[in-house]
Structures are given as C-alpha cells and as structure tokens.
Structure 1
C-alpha cells in the first residue's frame, strides 16, 4: 500500500480491505401523503469508506513501538492524499484516515484496523495526454464515469476567440468571432519588449525613495546589481536606471518580471516606477524585505502626482497566512494598467510553468483625473538598507503595450502567436499565459465533462496546437 507516496509495506502486512466493491448510492425521494411509494428526486454518491485490517510486525517490542510511532507520523495528514493498493497498482484513491481500532498485541505483533474516508468516492488513473492531429478529433474515455478535461491551446496566429465544443453542443469559449460586417482589431499594441540582455538604451535614474548609487548590469539574461555603492543618510540606496518609451502613453499596460529572494538576515527591495516626461513619478510598485531578523517580503503600490500620493497596495498582516508571507522568495510580475480613468495595479508570483498565484489586484477610479499624466519612461531600482546584507534581487523582462480604443465594428484580438490558453475543466478556470482570465468567458460557455465512451471534440478556429489532458475516473 502506497500512502501519500510512502510505501507502507515495511510497517503493515495487510490482511483484508473493505470498501472497494460495488459502489453505493444515496437516493433522495419525495413522499406524498396518501400515495404508495415515493417520487424519485435525485441520487448522489456518498464518500467512500475504506476499512483495512492489518498486522504490524517487528522483531522485538522496542522495534514494534518504533514502527507504531513512525506509522502514526506518516498517517497524520491534514487533507486527502493519494493512496494506491497493491492489487490495483494503476488506480489512485484520495483519502484521509478517520479512525483506528486495535486488536491483540503480542511481543512481535500488533493488530490494527484502519478506517480511511475518501470524500471523493471515485478512483483515478494516471493522466492521459492526447495531442490533437486536427481541429476535429474523437477521444474515447475508457473510465466508468465522466472525466474532467484540461485543454491546452498553443496559439499559432492572432485570434479574437478560442472555442472547444463537444457532440452535445456544450462548449467553452473566450472572446468572440468576427462577423462579416466587422474587422479584427489590435487593442493591445506592444510597443516595447526588453529581455534585459543589455543595459544599452538605459540611462541613470532620477528621484527614487532613497539615494541612487552603485551599478546595475546585465548577467544571464537579467539585470542584477554588481555594486550597491556606499551607505548614505537616506539609508536606502542602490542603482537605478530608466529608459524612454517610443511614444507618450495615455492608455497602457506595463508588465515587468522581477525577483526578490529574501532571507532571514537579508534586507532588500526591487522598485519599478512609471515616469512622465518631466521625470515625475506617476505610479510605483515595490517588493521589499525591510526586516533584519525575519523573512518577510512586502509589496507596496502607489499612484502619485506632485501634490499627493494614493497608496493602493499595502500588506500589513504578519501571520504566516498573510499575502506578504506568500510573497517570500518572490519570483513574479508587477503590472501597471490604465484605461481612461481606471487604474489597475497587479502583483503576483509566477510558477515555472507560467501560472500566476499569490496574486493581489487593486483597481482605482481616478474620477478627478489626479493621476492622468501621460507615461513617458519606465524606471527600475534595486536597493539595500544601511549596511545589512542584501537579498537576491533581479529584473528579468519588460513589456509595454499601448491600449487602443476600438470602434463599434472592431473586435479585439485576445491572443497572439506564442500565447498559451488553458481551459481547466477540473478546477473550472481559464488561463491566458498562466494568468486567470475568466472575465473573457462567453456567457453561454460551460466547463463540460468528457462522457463515458466516445467524445467528438471540435476546436475553433483552426489556429492552435491543441493538447488534452485528463484522468480516467472509475466508480
């Protein structure tokens, strides 16, 4: 028996397992006075209860007590975990121990009964991966129950929509097609992409929160600090660089990938500013660990004009569950966006597979147009405080988009060549380049399942390399 990835055969000799036979159902019936029988309403599958009888064997009493202690530690889990039984090596159950019973104990033997509750009553196969050879395929689900698919679409050309439907006309879709009376439109026009391979095009920074000193260089495809300079009265100090945009921007989106891998002793911050043509700050996001003896990254986000500052992102919680603690060892994204008078600041970590998590999104309606200055420059800064050792800081990528306002007969592109779209019907989520984007979901779309047997799947338009992942599910 494999419990949560651990082979229990050195601890347990299983004698009997109950709860994997004919699956029960719970029926909901409606009684009607004076009527024989009842009306059937619905049925559900209750949690699966697995009961195991086993012996724990040892060569002496001391070894027996040690094995019991080790087994208690292994079985002490806080959520359902994968369980594999030796006579079903290709099936995975998900359960959590609920209770135990004890039989006789001898010098070399302890008899035990273990009850495991599986809130999800189904068992699962390993993941099945299907590469679509065309935009119409038939997939055979060999499980005895419906399965939850995950569709991964690699975009080959600009698209205004992405859609997958089945033979029952259930469908999942984001965006919308272009009619004969409409034209596709580039709403987000990328005007700058800097992969941080060189500091050419960047000049000395201006007006940071602290003193500018030291040197920033490009190394291994990212900007890092080669020298922070000398401590100053401002306490925070380090290099800053800025670069001009190809044009002044009113409506825009700026994405920048940064790192702040912090330590208990280290102190450091990474800072990104949007500047106007007079070198004045319009918006700023920073990720900093300012504590000497604790590992605690914090994000701050501001809008600013010469008269006042509006703070949008501020994390002050100090518990282990606070967003700030989730931002430790930060490897993620800062985003600035302004459309009309609506600002959005975004901070999130990015996993190696590109998915976003530990996210914070704050929107602000600038109805008085206090922070409406056109954006002319992007400024970056990495700094340390006083003479404390630095955290591991880096700036990895910068992209800037101009956001255009569509006419009534224009339909915006939602994805471009190289982008990734994921329809995750297991978790009921939609990801665009790793970022949750359920806001793009069509009103009538649904997270449909793979039926038992044959499923015809159609992809629209024919502009993707499509992959399906699912796990066969058994009653």
Structure 2
C-alpha cells in the first residue's frame, strides 16, 4: 500500500509490511514517592508525542530515475509544520504529522528501501468532521446538541451569523461556559460603539471633488469608478510621484472618529511601484493625518503600510513598514484604519483572507492634533516612468465614535457580522479580526466536549444562527 500526505500520494512509493502505528500515544506518569510508604502518588499524567515509523520502497518511474525520485520525495514530504497523513487501511482516520529524521535508502538498481519517521505533536488521530446547524430561535436561548464520536474530549469550532445587535454571546456547557461581551442590567443603557457617517463603495465619482495638494508629489491624471472601486484611468505625467487625488466632505465634523479604507494593492511584476493614500482633512481642508499603502522599491516586492498623525513634516508615524512576515502583504486586499478618541490615536492594518493576517497596530496619545475631521482625500500615484502597481480603493467608512462612559454597555456585533470561536485554537474573530479581548471574564474558557452527545445552550439564541463543527479524536 501507499499513503496520502498533505492530500497527495505518489505512484513511485509504497509502504512495506512493518508500518508501526502504536495503538495510542505514549503515556507518562509523574510519580511522587512518599517517604516511609511503598510506591508513590501519581500527580500528573502526560501524553507524549506520537511517532509513526513507515518502511517504504521507492523506485524510478518514467522520466524520474531513483535520484530524481529522491528530490521529488523531499519536495512532497518536507513541510513547515504538520500535514494530514492517511493510510489506505484506515481511510476514515487522519494523523497530523510532520516528517523528521532522514531517509537512508538501501539502493539496488533503480529501487531503494528505507524508513520514514513521522512525529505527531498532536498525539491523537481524528475521524471525519461533523457539522451541526441551528437557526435563531424566537426565544432568548436555544439548545444545540453536538455529538463527539471520538474516544477523547474534542474542542469544537463555532461560526455565528448575527441577526440583531448583541452585547454578549454565551455558549454554556454542562459544567463550563464561554462568554464574549457582557449582558445588560436594567440600570444600564445599550450603546453602539460607533455610528456610520459615511460608507462609500467607490462605485461613483459623484460627491467627490478635485483636491489641490498631496505629500511629496503632484496631482495629475484621473480616477475611474468601477464595480470594484476607484482605479486610476490616467496617472498623468511627472518626474516624482504623480497621480489623481479627490476629496469629499463628511456630513458633520467629528472629534472622536474612526476612518477605514479597504483597498487592493499588488505588483504584477517585481518592478511595479505605487502608493494609495487617504488623508484626514480639517474644516479648512488641511491634512492632519494619513493612511498609506505603497511599494517604493523597483525590482523587489516590498509592500508597506503607514499611519501618521499630524502633517508630513513634524507628524508622528504610528505604523511605518512591513509586518513580521512581509509576504503577508504581497497580494494585499485588506484594510487600513485610523481612530481617535479623547486624544488617543490607534492605527491598524491587516490583509484579509478568511481572517486578518499580517496585522500591524499601534497607538499614541497626542492631544495636540485636535482638529475636527471634516473630510477625506484619496490619492493614488506612480513615481516617474516606473511601472504602476495594481491599485484599487474598494470602500471607505467614516464612523463617529460614541461616548461609552457611564452606565452603558456597547454592542459587540451588528446584523450581518460573522463571529467565529475556535476552541482548539483559542480564537475569537469578528469579521475575521482577532477579538479575543472581548472574552467576557476569567471564568469563561475554551472548553472541550466529552465523547457522546453534549447539550450546549446558546444565548441570546434569538440573535444568531450557528454552525458548529467537531472532529472526533481517538487514542
């Protein structure tokens, strides 16, 4: 037989008799010996790493001689982190394994025999994933029955679609619970943390007017509105940064606010450069803050983000540069956010796939930059005669931040929001953004469910649809 690793199998390899799959992972007890007494006391039981030994035979096939097979084998099996490993005689079980050690083949002509060693840091094997769904009830709670078919406790995953505003969400098990946010008492008032003042999908130029200046460049060319947002139809000409710029007023001046720009930015080839910028404008049209995403490097992919408080000269950068893993920004379709509340500025940038990745964030206290937000300005540009990167401004939000002092409780989610809680990964996401800070209290926990059926109470059950998943673990 052969086997599947990372959902792939190879025709040139087969597993030989002698595959060692222990019935369970090694169990180690910590024993304290009591003086004067026989034996000892077991104080802790620990499951150790599971090790799988797979003797194999490989052979040259077609255009691949044995030496080329070795190269292909390494490309297939050597990964960063565990991958799923499945054996044909147990197709309904999966191990999460990573190759370790080396493979020394006993070579005869175009064949070779050797031993592959896999380690499973997660010592269990898993059955198929099961899904349980339930729609919002007409009452304040509902009970979801989940089945863990395994022989070991399993950590479930939940996805909630919010149907009405909520201040909290509870998942209550037989002896433990998870809570995000908090309920409201009769003496408290529910408040939305923000109020949308502008939500522009950037599908029309109506309402936007010509801007007059940008940082370190000239305004030229024009934008066009598309189904995906504003794109540059013409960058114009210039020796330095040049491209179009437009501005728009907001309906009311804001002291405490949050501005969010969703944009797309990538270089089709490594010689592409460009910048997308969003300026905060005061009541006189002067810029007092900026968000930017750009690539200023020719012949190198190096996308970076900026968030600045104050003017170009004399301002303070809260964010400037790349994330810890720069590749997270290579193909950027994400958000840049700048927020001010009572003189505290917070900036946040993230690429968005299923969840936010490559997050960059920071904050400063700067009460000297106190102008009201009265408008925004957008700008996209290329430098000199360089090849422009692909740039689109997809959506812009301007939100008023409400006062949350006093006897008020904020809503944590609105209709249409998606909440994910992954109990195995200790993860809480709202619309893909990490919101573990909403974990309600120190008693709430990411708890497992026992083998068999478990009744979980969801509250408020009239506010969410739920899709829950579990994969049964086995010894």
Common fold: TM-score over 0.5: yes
Q: Determine the structure 2 residue equivalent to 1:357.
A: 357
Q: Determine the structure 2 residue equivalent to 1:20.
A: 22
Within-5 A mapping of 1:275-314: 275-305=281-311, 308-314=314-320
Distance 1:252 1:173 in 2: 28
After TM superposition, the structure 1 stretch with the greater mean CA deviation from structure 2, 32-41 or 177-186, is 177-186
Distance 2:54 2:107 in 1: 17
| SS of residue matched to 1:312 | strand
1:298-319 residue CA offsets vs partner (Å, 9 max, x unmatched):
212211159831122222x7xx
Q: Determine the structure 1 residue equivalent to 2:467.
A: 467
| SS of residue matched to 1:267 | strand
Output the TM-score relative to the length of structure 1: 0.92
User: 1:13, CA displacement in angstroms?
Assistant: 4.1
| SS of residue matched to 2:349 | strand
User: 1:194, CA displacement in angstroms?
Assistant: 0.8
Change (3 A) 1:59 1:70: closer
Change (3 A) 1:250 1:51: same
Q: Determine the structure 2 residue equivalent to 1:206.
A: 212
Q: Structure 1 unaligned runs (5+)? A: none
Number of equivalences: 464
From 136, 157, 175, the counterpart of 2:164 = 157
1:29-52 residue CA offsets vs partner (Å, 9 max, x unmatched):
111222210011011111111112
Do 2:291 and 2:306's aligned partners in 1 also have CA atoms closer than 8 Å? yes
Change (3 A) 1:288 1:58: closer
Q: Determine the structure 1 residue equivalent to 2:46.
A: 44
User: 1:124, CA displacement in angstroms?
Assistant: 1.6
1:387-445 residue CA offsets vs partner (Å, 9 max, x unmatched):
11100000001112111113523221111111111112121111111110111111132
Distance 1:312 1:407 in 2: 26
From 402, 405, 411, the counterpart of 1:404 = 402
Distance 1:239 1:60 in 2: 57
Q: Determine the structure 2 residue equivalent to 1:221.
A: 228
Output the TM-score relative to the length of structure 2: 0.92
Do 1:268 and 1:384's aligned partners in 2 also have CA atoms closer than 8 Å? yes
After TM superposition, the structure 1 stretch with the greater mean CA deviation from structure 2, 57-66 or 151-160, is 57-66
From 410, 428, 431, the counterpart of 1:430 = 428
Distance 1:306 1:383 in 2: 17
User: 1:198, CA displacement in angstroms?
Assistant: 0.7
User: 1:323, CA displacement in angstroms?
Assistant: 4.7
Change (3 A) 1:427 1:62: closer
1:253-300 residue CA offsets vs partner (Å, 9 max, x unmatched):
111101111231111110011110111111101111111221111212
| SS of residue matched to 1:287 | strand
Distance 1:450 1:66 in 2: 47
1:168-210 residue CA offsets vs partner (Å, 9 max, x unmatched):
1x11111111112222122311121111111111111232111
| SS of residue matched to 2:72 | helix
Within-5 A mapping of 1:309-324: 309-315=315-321, 322-324=324-326
Q: Determine the structure 2 residue equivalent to 1:113.
A: 115
Do 1:305 and 1:371's aligned partners in 2 also have CA atoms closer than 8 Å? no
